[in-house]
Amino acid sequence: MKLPRKNKINQIVGKYKEDQGTLISLLQDIQSEFGYLPKEVLSHVSGTLDVPLSKIFAVASFYHSFSLEPQGKNTVSVCTGTACHVKNSGNLAESVSRNLGLEKDEETSTDGEFTLKKVRCLGCCSMAPVVKVNEDIHGGMTQVKTGKLLQQYRKDNK
Amino acid sequence: MKGKPFTHLEKLGKSGRASLLPNQVKITVGFASCGVAAGAQAVLNAFSSGIKKRKMDVQIQKAGCNGMCHQEPLVEVWIPGKVRLTYGKVNKEIVQTILAAIKLDAIPEGALFKTPLGITTDTCCEDVPDNTSHTFYSKQQRVALRNCGVIDPENIGEYIALEGYQGLALALTEKTPAQVIKEVEKAGLRGRGGGGFPTGLKWKACRKARGKQKYIICNADEGDPGAYMDRSILEGDPHAVIEGMMIAGYAVGASQGVIYVRDEYPLAIQRLEIALENARKNKILGSKVLETDFSFDIRISRGAGAFVCGEETALIRSVEGECGEPRQRPPYPAVEGLYGCPTIINNVETLANIPALVKSGAKLFSAVGTETSKGTKVFSLVGKVNNVGLVEVPMGISLREIIFDIGGGIPGGKAFKAVQTGGPSGGCIPESLIDLPVDYDKLAQTGSIMGSGGLIVMDEKTCMVDVALYFLRFLEDESCGKCTPCRVGVRRMREILEDICEGRGTLNDLDILEKLAGTIKESALCGLGRTAPNPVLSTLKYFKNEYLAHIKDKKCPAGVCRELVKYSIDKKLCIGCGACLKACPVDAVSGEKKKAHKINLKKCIKCGACSEICPAGAVLT
């Protein structure tokens, strides 16, 4: 299998060896480069560092912030913290799912534009319910407002 | 104060004082994550372009959050030599009003309060209350949050100008490590992250423990949903945490520190990185701290999204790069922690208290609080309450004072039902108990815990069975799976609660829930599991009638549990505005303009879009 961005991967692995970083920080670097953890990259890392692939997979699947699937261009994170929950963030997440035409348990829209994530408390409880699109946090959201927000991103992407 | 450390700090503090209170007008925009979410960037941009357009000589700066989250975006205006004023809910129009007044050398109107910093002279604005007499602040006492929203978190000089690193300097020049520990012990400081363990005892055990290397870890894995004081402290006053860690390092004999921060807090990480770099550059961090023989350095370790990593043994595994699975204690980390070495793990708020405690002494610190809980505690007051925000109050204050006097009560004239404390390990406290003084032990007596300080207020429209289910889903998802009581027991409890919420519950279920809860409490490996039943037990104890309504009458009194509710529109309340009709994603609403609307129940998917948007509160469940 051809490895994408091989130089970059070797650079990340080299940094890991030099600073004696941890497996978590290594995976974080790979994810920020690729947007997710591609299987072929993990196999390559396993071989280069002589760390069993099973161990890499254990860490990658233990922590929520790692993703083993390709992500959409935009990530929509609906906060499910307690303050957001009592302000109906469950319904809000469902409305985003409907809006993006996602099947049950599906996270990424078929056009690859959006990935929906129900996330743990974003720590902006005073603005509940909160929706984060990529790095931008939006507070006091309703289903209607969120629909408009997604529309804005669709437009901007074109 | 004499000695090299103090002269070193004095030099740095001078420039800080000049930038804190410059000789020109300074506008500070609250730029913590919550402020940014409320539109702080647009406000900052409006000030920048307005100042340029008007050709004004005004300085702009970013700061952290002063806790008044319900007033975001927040802006402070410093009129040199006169006063420092705070304005709330600032929009583009208010920006123009503020700038227009400044241009005319006038004081902009509409300030919420003024902040005397001790080094300012307030000679005007007698009609504007001091921050300490403003209703939101009058019952507060800010120790851990002392600098949040006041200083520029990216400017080490401003921190030093407000007595920053003085506690460290004092410890290094005038106290032995044992004396520092004694002081912390005498002060009665207990861990603010949830456990409430006496900090001094922890330090003492670590000081005694043998090890070539010792570590200080700052637990900034603020995982409790509904709590965000650690984020605010890291974003608004990162040096307070760094100084606290350094004092801890000096006390126990450690030269290395690690800050374990949640991945969800990018701004906190960024501010910490800047703060660490500035501290190193100014010879405060690194070798020969403040020109003494003490050496200490700190690195940041980013979490990767696992709630269980807030538990100290799991956190250590995670810092080591492994899966964050907890282990049996003892040995406690103070004896055998990171890489097998003696390790102190203190929470952000605990550490932020340390510099103030050391500087002012145990006596002053412990003058505040109750018999068993000394000092102040930061709470994030959120949910169904008017004045949401971060409040720091003396221990012993009642929940009622926090919710009704500081928080301004429940919005929309609704009735208070409960307040949830302690995150997923805590419980829901009913109205009959909210006059209890808040401290570690009193809260534990109610079946809840202090936890890290989330206070989520719930009103009559919050279903307590649904809240219990919410926490169990959370915990099931976050259980690391290592021990069976937590992995299987919590899942079984969740399944039963789901049955109840969806109308399949039986009375026998309540007995099974209680039995399961008892077993899990006694046999789970770590704190996450052992406290997992608390949200169920406390709601069963205080809100059993809601469980019974779900089971016997197949009704959700709060109108939340989807399988048990029907949406309808109150004809008398409906103003026929058509908002619900537009919001409904399945065209289930019909009606003419200005006439009462109707919901077609065959089409309705119970998504709640209509009730959310209705300006008249006419949608009933």
Helices (H) and strands (E) in chain B, counts: 25, 18
Contact with chain A for residue B89, Cβ under 8 A: no
User: Which helix or strand (DSSP H or E) is residue B485 part of?
Assistant: none
Decide if A127 and B222 are in contact by the 8 Å CB cutoff. no
pLDDT at B408: 97
Tell me the ipTM for this assembly. Answer: 0.94
> Do A40 and A111 fall into the same domain?
no
What is the three-class DSSP state of B439? coil
Distance (Å) of CA A83 to CA A48, A86, A90, B173, B225: 45, 5, 11, 46, 8
> Do A86 and A54 fall into the same domain?
no
pLDDT at B78: 93
**Which residue type is seen at B401?**
E
pLDDT at B119: 53
Contact with chain A for residue B615, Cβ under 8 A: no
The pLDDT of A92-109, averaged and rounded, is: 94
pLDDT at B120: 52
* All residues at 6 or more sequence positions from B121 whose CB lies less than 8 Å from its CB, including other chains: B81, B82
> Do A25 and A93 fall into the same domain?
no
Note the Cα A123 to chain centre separation in Å.
17
Contact with chain A for residue B378, Cβ under 8 A: no
Q: Give B417's contacts in chain A (Cβ within 8 Å).
A: none
Is A1 inside a domain boundary? no
**Residue A126 Cα, gap to closest chain B Cα (Å):** 5
> Do A85 and A150 fall into the same domain?
yes
Decide if A125 and B382 are in contact by the 8 Å CB cutoff. yes
**Residue A44 Cα, gap to closest chain B Cα (Å):** 19
pLDDT at B132: 85
Helical residues (DSSP H) of B83-224, grouped into ranges:
92-103, 156-161, 166-174, 177-187, 199-208
Note the Cα B504 to chain centre separation in Å.
37
Tell me which residues of chain A have a C-beta less than 8 Å from any C-beta of chain B: 21-25, 27-28, 58-59, 62-66, 80-83, 85-88, 91, 94-95, 98, 119-128, 130, 135, 137-139, 142-144
* All residues at 6 or more sequence positions from A140 whose CB lies less than 8 Å from its CB, including other chains: A127, A128, A129
> Do A82 and A135 fall into the same domain?
yes
Q: In a mutagenesis test of the B interface, which of A126, A142, A143, A144 is the best target, namely the one with the most B β-carbons within 10 Å? A: A126
When CB atoms are compared, the residue of B33, B322, B471 closest to A123 is B33
User: In this predicted model, what pLDDT tens digit does every residue of A101-150 receive, in sequence order?
Assistant: 999 888 999 999 999 999 989 989 999 999 999 999 999 999 999 999 99
Does pLDDT of A1 surpass 60? no
pLDDT at B168: 98
Does pLDDT of A19 surpass 80? no
> Do A80 and A153 fall into the same domain?
yes
Is A58 inside a domain boundary? yes
Decide if B264 and A123 are in contact by the 8 Å CB cutoff. yes
pLDDT band at A157; cut points 50, 70, 90? confident
> Do A92 and A30 fall into the same domain?
no
CATH at A111: 3.40.30.10
Contact with chain A for residue B114, Cβ under 8 A: no
Q: Answer whether B575's CB lies under 8 Å from B618's CB.
A: yes
Contact with chain A for residue B389, Cβ under 8 A: yes
> Do A53 and A109 fall into the same domain?
no
Q: Give B464's contacts in chain A (Cβ within 8 Å).
A: none
What is the C-alpha to C-alpha distance for residues B204 and B297, in angstroms, rounded to an integer?
Answer: 21
Is A95 inside a domain boundary? yes
- Of A13 and B488, the one with more pLDDT: B488
What is the C-alpha to C-alpha distance for residues B235 and B37, in angstroms, rounded to an integer?
Answer: 14
What is the three-class DSSP state of B567? coil
Decide if A27 and B304 are in contact by the 8 Å CB cutoff. yes
Distance (Å) of CA B541 to CA B6, B428, B447, B535: 56, 10, 9, 10
> Do A56 and A78 fall into the same domain?
no
pLDDT-flagged residues of chain B (< 50): none
Q: In a mutagenesis test of the B interface, which of A125, A137, A150 is the best target, namely the one with the most B β-carbons within 10 Å? A: A125
**Residue B563 Cα, gap to closest chain A Cα (Å):** 14
Decide if A22 and B612 are in contact by the 8 Å CB cutoff. no
> Do A118 and A44 fall into the same domain?
no
Is A68 inside a domain boundary? no
Range of the domain at A109: 74-157
Final residue of a structural domain among A16, A41, A62 = A62
Decide if B383 and A27 are in contact by the 8 Å CB cutoff. no
> Domains, chain B, ranges and CATH?
18-114 (3.40.30.10), 163-365 (3.40.50.11540), 376-459 (3.10.20.600), 464-551 (1.20.1440.230), 566-620 (3.30.70.20)
pLDDT at B123: 63
Is A54 inside a domain boundary? yes
Is A67 inside a domain boundary? no
Is A69 inside a domain boundary? no
Number of independent structural domains in chain A: 2
pLDDT at A16: 83
> Do A84 and A119 fall into the same domain?
yes
Does pLDDT of A22 surpass 90? no
Is A27 inside a domain boundary? yes
Helical residues (DSSP H) of A20-142, grouped into ranges:
23-34, 39-49, 53-62, 82-85, 89-99
Decide if B304 and A124 are in contact by the 8 Å CB cutoff. no
Final residue of a structural domain among A62, A85, A101 = A62
Does pLDDT of A46 surpass 80? yes
